[in-house]
């Protein structure tokens, strides 16, 4: 099948050809005609399958064919969980709309709002946004969603994981009830289905791949290792393999920073990317990784989705995620666009249950290797690590560190009510950063 058979305009076909695309991916084949027909959609597609083009191309065509209003109010909203994904989606929108009279912009937290506000005031057709900054500007009266015709929730499951459900419901209330809704999610959890039931109207279900499947092109392997030997092992693997571009996942921000310092001490250029980094630092770290001036990018799960790194050869789980689905998103950074990739996981005894959950999810036993000198500790406990302790010790020992910060929209709470549990506090932290 070619893009010509999907009903796209000449302007969009020209833009697609310029990007070097020759044939649509399965999610694009299934989603584009449905969206062009004006129907709501509930789509499941694993990361790296081309879903951004799957909703962007038909959205652009619908807007281009519609009536261009004089002051260019926001006619389409794409809501995403993280800054990196927002920037990536905006880049794609600009590329695909090159030969159309469509204006777009992106807004997210961590940067000065004035340039974002100025662009919106000049008129935009498509707004890509993270929930926190969107509500912040809306609460200040600096933007309106009253004319939105198309809503896209991208990576909806990740937004729920990060605690954005209340924000999403608030945003839904600010838009016209008559609109087209497109919900894209890598997983169809109970929460996602509940959300879909709240605002989708007779949606067409589109599934490009089996739920939670991993890309066939990714070679997966587990290294069993003692917890205290993980740093030495990862340095050995990267150094002796002469790997030039490696994305490493840790469970905590502190763990990411600590591992970066160890890498640098071993002569391996490394940078960290996580929610505590300001946007300038995150952008610089990602740019250095993409242009190969930095060999290793150490990230928390904020980077598991939204990082567009072509032909990334290696992903390493320095620590396994405690949510099995996150493993799929992490390793999905490699093996993209038909390229092969390698996903390695360093697994200590206390991560045994996490590994078991992952293997159950992907439906296969992952091959295990033990490197001489880095053997697992036979006496170590297999009890799962406690929340907040992976990668850097118990950094929440000081009770003050559990205080909930104010969010960008000014929704902080300084009352004497009982503090939320750590998991909910982690979600609020993520939300306030974007």
Using H for helix, E for strand and C for coil, what is the string for 327-379? HHHHHCCCCCCCCCEEEEEEECHHHHHHHHHHHHHHCCCCCEECCCCCCCCCC
pLDDT reported for residue 85: 87
Element counts in the chain: helices (H) and strands (E): 15, 14
pLDDT reported for residue 130: 95
pLDDT reported for residue 427: 45
3-state secondary structure of 307: coil
Would you say how long the chain is, in residues? Answer: 434
Residues of the chain under the 50 pLDDT cut = 210-213, 388-433
pLDDT reported for residue 108: 93
pLDDT reported for residue 386: 64
Report the C-alpha gap between 54 and 18 in whole angstroms.
17
pLDDT reported for residue 407: 34
Q: pTM higher than 0.85, yes or no?
A: no
Helices 10-18 and 83-96 pack at an angle, to 10 degrees, of: 120
pLDDT reported for residue 309: 72
| DSSP label at residue 304 | S
E strands, 57-153, in order: 76-79, 104-107, 126-129, 150-153
pLDDT reported for residue 394: 36
Report the C-alpha gap between 394 and 386 in whole angstroms.
9
| DSSP label at residue 389 | -
User: Quick count: other Cβ atoms within 10 Å of Cβ 249?
Assistant: 28
Residues of the chain with CATH 3.40.50.300: 3-207, 218-369
Does domain 3-207 correspond to CATH entry 3.40.190.150? no
| Class of the CATH domain delimited by 218-369 | alpha beta
């Amino acid at each position: 099948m070619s893009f010509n058979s999907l009903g796209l305009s000449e302007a969009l076909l020209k833009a697609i050809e310029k990007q070097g695309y020759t044939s649509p991916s399965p999610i694009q084949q299934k989603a584009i005609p449905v969206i062009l027909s004006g129907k709501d959609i509930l789509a499941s597609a694993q990361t790296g399958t081309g879903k951004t083009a799957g909703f962007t191309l038909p959205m652009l065509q619908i807007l281009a064919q519609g009536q261009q209003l004089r002051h260019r109010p926001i006619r389409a909203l794409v809501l995403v969980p993280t800054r990196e994904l927002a920037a990536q989606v905006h880049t794609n929108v600009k590329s695909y709309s090159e030969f159309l009279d469509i204006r777009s912009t992106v807004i997210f937290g961590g940067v000065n709002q004035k340039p974002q506000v100025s662009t919106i005031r000049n008129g935009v057709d498509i707004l890509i946004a993270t929930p926190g900054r969107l509500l912040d500007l809306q609460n200040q009266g600096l933007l309106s969603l009253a004319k939105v015709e198309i809503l896209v929730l991208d990576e909806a499951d990740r937004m729920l994981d990060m605690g954005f459900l209340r924000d999403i419901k608030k945003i839904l209330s600010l838009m016209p009830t008559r609109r087209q809704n497109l919900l894209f999610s890598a997983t169809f959890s109970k929460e996602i289905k509940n959300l879909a039931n709240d605002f989708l109207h007779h949606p067409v279900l589109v599934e490009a791949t089996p739920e939670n499947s991993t890309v066939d092109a990714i070679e997966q392997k587990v290294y069993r290792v003692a917890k205290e030997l993980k740093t030495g092992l990862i340095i050995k693997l990267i150094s002796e393999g002469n790997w030039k571009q490696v994305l490493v996942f840790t469970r905590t921000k502190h763990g990411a920073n600590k591992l970066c310092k160890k890498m640098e001490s071993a002569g391996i250029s490394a940078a960290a990317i996580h929610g505590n980094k300001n946007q300038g630092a995150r952008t610089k770290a990602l740019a250095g990784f993409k242009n190969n001036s930095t060999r290793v990018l150490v990230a928390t799960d904020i980077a598991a989705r939204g990082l567009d790194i072509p032909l990334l050869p290696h992903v390493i789980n320095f620590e396994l995620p405690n949510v099995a689905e996150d493993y799929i998103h992490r390793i999905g950074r490699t093996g993209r666009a038909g390229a092969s990739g390698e996903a390695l996981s360093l697994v200590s005894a206390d991560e045994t249950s996490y590994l078991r959950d992952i293997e159950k999810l992907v439906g296969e036993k992952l091959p295990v290797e033990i490197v001489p000198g880095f053997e697992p500790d036979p006496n170590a406990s297999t009890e799962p690590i406690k929340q907040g302790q992976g990668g850097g010790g118990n950094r929440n020992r000081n009770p003050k560190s559990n205080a909930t910060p104010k969010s960008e929209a000014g929704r902080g709470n300084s009352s004497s009510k009982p503090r939320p549990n750590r998991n909910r506090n982690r979600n609020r932290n993520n939300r306030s950063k974007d």
